Amino acid sequence: MSHYPLVFRVHAIQRMFQRRISKDEVRQVVVTGETVESYPTDKPFPSRLILGWSGSRPLHVVAADDVGAEETIIITVYQPDAEEWEQGFTRRKRR
């Protein structure tokens, strides 16, 4: 959970537009969602995959905290695919 202001990367905004996901939905996921994967070696900042819900619609947000700038960077946003994720969308299916 982050209390920093959100900064949306161009890629995230493009995907949000394509997938009809609003900034308010992303904000809700970041504030109330559950981190389901962590990527501590991501550069320039460690990032995480957050699962949240917009009504009955699951959403995944990849975000990174820039502690120095006191902001949370939104990298991408998508609705997880049930073919790739186990029920509940917290774990990837094994292949």
Per-residue pLDDT of the chain (95 residues; tens, 9 = 90+): 467 999 999 999 999 999 999 999 999 999 999 999 999 999 999 999 999 999 999 999 999 999 999 999 999 999 999 999 999 999 999 87
The sign of the CA dihedral 73, 76, 77, 81 is: negative
The structure's pTM equals: 0.92
Burial degree of 67 (CB within 10 A; 0-12, 13-18, 19+): exposed
* Domains of the chain by start residue, with CATH: 6-78 (3.30.2310)
